[in-house]
Structure 1
């Protein structure tokens, strides 16, 4: 089913559904990160091993404050600034943060940290706010294929196996860069 309503899409997530939606650079697949059954559906759709982990997408820093708290103040400010000072056409930044909260292992995979991005994409912000928390964000594609860049491509990959929130794709030319917040190492450039 296709919806144009962010509120309806958030209700779908609250009812254990998987949703395809446009992000900053590509279409993503999302679900409630605390719902293992919905998350397992994403892994099956993508044919992705659980060990790889996924990104959590948030609308604002308040949704991820608990994940930032183990870091020193200077690093916290650097991360927050990287999210707040980004223009719509610039590539997003995903940070690997210490997982000292209740983020399940199925989200982090084999990694000791959790990947988090505060989005500046208006539709994604609205979706996270309507859902009331961060959501899973992984590219909408089966393993080995290019990420979907529009609704039609997402539907070609997944047909009626999930729901779709239609909207405009962001202006970022590439998927987010991933940086380890503890070491500063660039994981995906």
Structure 2
């Protein structure tokens, strides 16, 4: 399904998310249209381990102290803005020179990324600026009864992941 340029809904730490192959321009286009979202915002990548996101990150621009902070919080509900490799597609970084990445501790995401053998886009299952979906029924109501949906339980987090810019230390999204 994901290798066929499709967008799917799946359970995340706090809500249902929409995801697709981050390297598929066709899938990203579908996702942007579906969410009515600007490409300039970029997307979060979620993975089961660092090796799945390594290709997107310019590790040479990270200090040992920054790496220690990142790995102290992973796996977990923390998304970090890290320096992007120069060849990372614009649709992932948006207008920024960073890539947003999270190593999840949520079993549903771990299983999905491992089955896909890579990182996935992770964005809330909703139309931009509308309430996210918390149940499979809400996903189907929002996107249609034939929408690809991975059933499973959302995690115990009450809010979306915190987003921290590792370069300047600023908290971008706190909840």
Same fold (TM over 0.5): yes
| Distance (Å, rounded) in 2 between the aligned partners of 1:158 and 1:48 | 15
| Distance (Å, rounded) in 2 between the aligned partners of 1:162 and 1:38 | 14
CA pair 161-115 structure 1, distance change in 2 beyond 3 A: farther
Match of 2:50 in 1: 61
Contact map agreement 1:58 1:118 (CA 8 A) in 2: yes
How far residue 17 of structure 1 moved from its aligned partner, in angstroms, is 0.8
CA pair 103-160 structure 1, distance change in 2 beyond 3 A: farther
Contact map agreement 2:126 2:133 (CA 8 A) in 1: yes
3-state SS, counterpart of residue 164 of structure 1: coil
Match of 2:155 in 1: 170
**Which of 22, 25, 28 is the matching residue for 2:11?**
22
The superposition leaves residues 62-102 of structure 1 with CA deviations (integer Å, 9 ceiling, x where unpaired) of: 22234262211121111011014x4xxxxx11000101153
Runs of 4+ in structure 1 displaced over 4 angstroms? Answer: none
How far residue 124 of structure 1 moved from its aligned partner, in angstroms, is 0.3
RMSD over aligned Cα atoms: 1.3
| Distance (Å, rounded) in 2 between the aligned partners of 1:65 and 1:73 | 16
| Distance (Å, rounded) in 1 between the aligned partners of 2:108 and 2:58 | 24
3-state SS, counterpart of residue 153 of structure 1: helix
**Which of 19, 23, 26 is the matching residue for 1:34?**
23
The superposition leaves residues 43-79 of structure 1 with CA deviations (integer Å, 9 ceiling, x where unpaired) of: 1111111111110001012222342622111211110
2:2 aligned with 1:13 = yes
Match of 1:148 in 2: 133
2:29 aligned with 1:44 = no
2:70 aligned with 1:76 = no
Match of 1:89 in 2: none
TM-score, L = length of structure 2? 0.93
| Distance (Å, rounded) in 2 between the aligned partners of 1:161 and 1:114 | 31
| Distance (Å, rounded) in 2 between the aligned partners of 1:161 and 1:115 | 30
Match of 1:119 in 2: 104
Aligned runs of 1:123-142 on 2, under 5 Å?
A: 123-142=108-127
Contact map agreement 1:34 1:103 (CA 8 A) in 2: no
Match of 2:82 in 1: 97
Q: Higher relative contact order by CA 8 Å / sep ≥ 6: 1 or 2?
A: 1
